[in-house]
A and B are shown apart, each in its own frame.
Chain A
């Protein structure tokens, strides 16, 4: 994990994917290691290669589920979020008071993944879709719909997976896919599993408004040459009929018509579905039952025969003449039937015995005798049980009194449900979801925490406001800029208006060629100059000391500041320290860089005598802050100090001491912090630049900071 915290400075986007991949393999549970990298990963995401994106997104999905509170609260907060989106910064304080506000980091993730919906890689699109499904507020999820529908045009295998996921989504959120219902119409050339999935989705999407169109489609499908598909369609019609009461009768009539179909599977499937439908509203359907009794001789599919027998038994009072006759026929063929048919025959016999024992007593006894010696133990068991239950004899106890109530009790209608009903327990887009069973290595998606964990753990180098703000710009600085050697992270949107005259500078050569729209980084308009004092240049490089004499330093206090962590409260036994560079001339000594340190006591006791101890290298010139005598629990104090980095990016190491402990800390300045902003006229600029360019070779050898400077000049030249 060391490597995740510090990827290669020049091209973090190249390694981020592999690093996260390694993380997922080695220690996927160490959520705590992600905190510091969270924002960096979010911002890098668009630049990472596509396979890495998939891995990072799935990791961030899990992370977000542990760190943020659920956005799925009541609808009334929705409008808040809407305007929170549009202008994040100044409205933020107002929304703070409301019961739910989305964590800015949560929003950051959602916003940065959205462009990836346009990826050409279907896996990336699916990954973003599942991220939105699991993390976004309900009303925002629908933005993934279009992209998912687009994927349906892709390869057959891709279709299969995407349709599976849409099927799960469409159960919970009909509205998402309803406008695209036509995209799920079946073509005769589709593979069977694609057809059944489309059917599933169409059924899920059916409602009062569109049911007539859907049923018309279904009519075409029923006639399909693909009989497995036709059978699935009949099941689907049955589900529509139960779900939407307006069309139940229409569906039932349609299904009855199918009973005269030439194909047996279609007939059998219709019978099974009709049986289920009749059960939901058994009142007026004597005719249908009679019709089915007539069919009984021709139907051979066991399931269908069993269904008819069950119907006969259940509604034997409605068809008092037919039912005994059916039983008679069954008695003749009992031995040749399938097990399920035999069981239902025994059931029918028992029910008839109870309602119409005069006609059927002998038949029942005959069937029970046959069942007694059947090869299948299940049937033998059932027969024995039924005999004890219905035939009164001296041994049978109290139970036989209740036989009628047991056998002829009103039964609850079966609920016709989608096969994808229970799939939502798996994370969308995973192998487990696709197989509907837990695959090896599947990690449950954690549930939202009731209370959000500490947000500040993610504060590393970027203070949230600057992040929010810069992402408003169409050209967003990716967070890695802080790492890059040019160190020119002084980007701020306001400065552009303030300093129109100054030239724009592109950041660094390797950044300049960065492509996609959001990948351009532009540095606002000011030149960067080493932050040694302007009045009294102490540059060792005599060649350019001239350069500084003639112009003024502009203070750059307007830019958003990056705060860096100096001491974490875990390692500091409750004492935590953060620092930032105020970018102002240092008060103590001109060669020093001003640093502001915020000390915070997050322990439960007061800390005493906070001061700076040993430093290394010993020659390090630091202007210490005055010893803080006492810091109460929860209190924080800001102190300023000056450090002479002597124009190098070498870290200043020193010890931060309290009364009891000593903590080694280090401050490493980015090159940009050693430079200072200044304004000058264009003439001066050209003059100085000219001088600098002829000397540049020597300069490069002499000082690292000057090297950076010459790059910047070269850049400025291009920009001019």
Chain B
């Protein structure tokens, strides 16, 4: 299936390659570079490319391209999903997925790739299994390894992989037994010029951090599970139980994992926490423009909106911005044409406002479309959909664990058209 993997940085250098079947020459990447050139923006590179003898499937993560070489028919999503899983694993192991991090841990990277794919077919992709075989790096271990010439490869084979619950290690022991669940909801919305919502949906995810000894069997129930339109689960969740009783019943993996993601579609009514009043205009004469943005709270359910941030991708003709912000500060990057206004906490008494003039390149026709505003925000202690965990029970073990649930609402792809 997957023959080779090339890691390419944003400059177009191949800094790591790995072959599972036969070695394929680097020159195969030239086709990719060609497409990369044509696309201008790295995001616009088509994920699936065809060359005379191979097919190239690539993903773009954290300014890196993961480029895999395929020789025969395979579902493209299979490869894409796997590549993202590789990137996630790097993130998990090294806390980041950039070129420098990968270069620093090149040995572990190769060990991981060797384990994750076997003759081109995914083998161990479960982080828990991998961590038992190849221990994540830490300072002490790397010092010891340098001195003794040891490696990070575990001595024993992971037992989990051959059990029916490959995601959980056997014999887990903690002195403090605790289970934390973070319910995070992101609002994807498009709001048009006049302030009416064109489309809005909620994407929710429940991240868990479970540190429980033994083989606990957890059940989680919701106050209002009918809200959820569509869900996807970690393999540990028993689907039948969910279908019949709307209860999440599972033996959790050890440590951090994503328990479920859910989707509340645009057919439902979604609360929009802030409103934006804006006017951006470009004048023909004098080659300048005006910008005036005010943000106010709309449906916040009595909570404070934090980490408010507005990002505007300006048209090419805008040279500079001369603005004053009543709260927070703004930056305008001349090369990327990005105007970022970092507001912070939203004070309902005194609404934050950004106004001023834009200087334009002379002799260039004015842009006819105003740039749209992307909003970032965060509301603590609130799931905007109204979802609530009603109870969490544990079976199978006798101790009493500490349980906690936290709610956060964030803006996902929240866009205001102007």
Contact = CB atoms under 8 A, between A and B. Distances in A.
B196 to A, nearest CB: 11
A189 B44 contact: no
B238 A518 contact: yes
Interface string A119-153: 11111011100000000000000000011011001
Interface stretch (A269-277, A349-357, A435-443): A435-443
User: Is chain B's binding surface mostly helix, strand, loop or mixed?
Assistant: mixed
A516 B237 contact: yes
Given A180-B265, A435-B50, A474-B244, A440 B81 contact: no
A183 B265 contact: yes
B115 to A, nearest CB: 14
Given A442-B73, A517-B239, A123 B78 contact: yes
B406 interface: no
Contact of A432 (B58, B73, B166): B73
Interface string B227-269: 0011111111111111110000111000000100101011100
B368 A223 contact: yes
B215 interface: yes
B315 interface: yes
A81 interface: no
A619 interface: no
Contact of A439 (B73, B232, B266, B417): B73
A127 B243 CA distance: 21
B362 interface: no
Given A183-B265, A431-B73, A517 B80 contact: no
A420 to B, nearest CB: 15
B71 A440 contact: yes
B238 A429 contact: no
A149 B235 contact: no
B11 interface: no
Contacts of A511: 164
B166 A49 contact: yes
A54 interface: yes
A200 interface: no
Give the interface centre of A126, A149, A262, A434 by most chain B CB atoms within 10 Å: A434
A517 B265 CA distance: 26
B169 interface: no
Nearest to B314: A225
Interface string B38-59: 0101011011101000010011
Nearest to A510: B164
Contact of A58 (B46, B75, B166, B230): B75
A58 B50 CA distance: 22
A534 interface: no
A514 interface: yes
A478 B343 CA distance: 56
Nearest to A147: B230
A501 interface: no
Given A50-B235, A191-B44, A182 B374 contact: no
Given A121-B81, A182-B198, A115 B74 contact: no
A641 interface: no
A339 B199 CA distance: 46
Contact of B77 (A122, A442, A476): A122
Contacts of B409: none
A158 B81 contact: yes
Interface string A502-514: 0000000011011
B203 interface: yes
Nearest to B167: A515
A118 interface: yes
| Contact-residue bracket for chain B | 35 or more
Give the interface centre of A160, A431, A510 by most chain B CB atoms within 10 Å: A431
Given A156-B43, A474-B240, A262 B368 contact: yes
Contacts of A223: 368-369
A118 B244 contact: no
B125 interface: yes
Contacts of A432: 73
B164 A514 contact: yes
Given A514-B164, A517-B242, A440 B72 contact: yes
A161 B235 contact: no
A513 B163 contact: yes
B77 A516 contact: no
B72 A441 contact: yes
A146 B121 contact: no
Interface stretch (A11-19, A98-106, A398-406, A589-597): A11-19
B201 interface: yes
A262 B365 contact: yes
Give the interface centre of B77, B125, B188, B417 by most chain A CB atoms within 10 Å: B77
Give the interface centre of B58, B84, B122, B239 by most chain A CB atoms within 10 Å: B239
A515 B41 CA distance: 45
Interface string A46-90: 110111001000100000000000000000000000000000000
Contact of A431 (B48, B232, B313, B315): B48
A185 interface: yes
Contact of B121 (A13, A21, A150, A160): A21
Given A160-B47, A435-B48, A474-B240, A120 B77 contact: no
Nearest to A50: B235
A175 to B, nearest CB: 15
Interface string A139-179: 00000001101100101111011100000000000000001
Contacts of A474: 240-241, 244
7 contacts: A50-B235, A158-B84, A188-B415, A191-B41, A429-B77, A513-B251, A516-B236
Q: Which 6 A-B pairs have the closest CB atoms?
A: A517-B238, A517-B240, A441-B72, A182-B199, A517-B241, A223-B369
Interface of B: 39, 41, 43-44, 46-48, 50, 55, 58-61, 70-78, 80-82, 84, 121-122, 125, 162-166, 188, 190, 192, 198-199, 201, 203, 215, 229-244, 249-251, 258, 261, 263, 265-267, 313, 315, 365, 367-369, 371-372, 374, 412-413, 415, 417
Given A115-B243, A224-B369, A515-B236, 7 more contacts: A46-B239, A193-B44, A225-B367, A435-B55, A443-B73, A511-B164, A519-B238
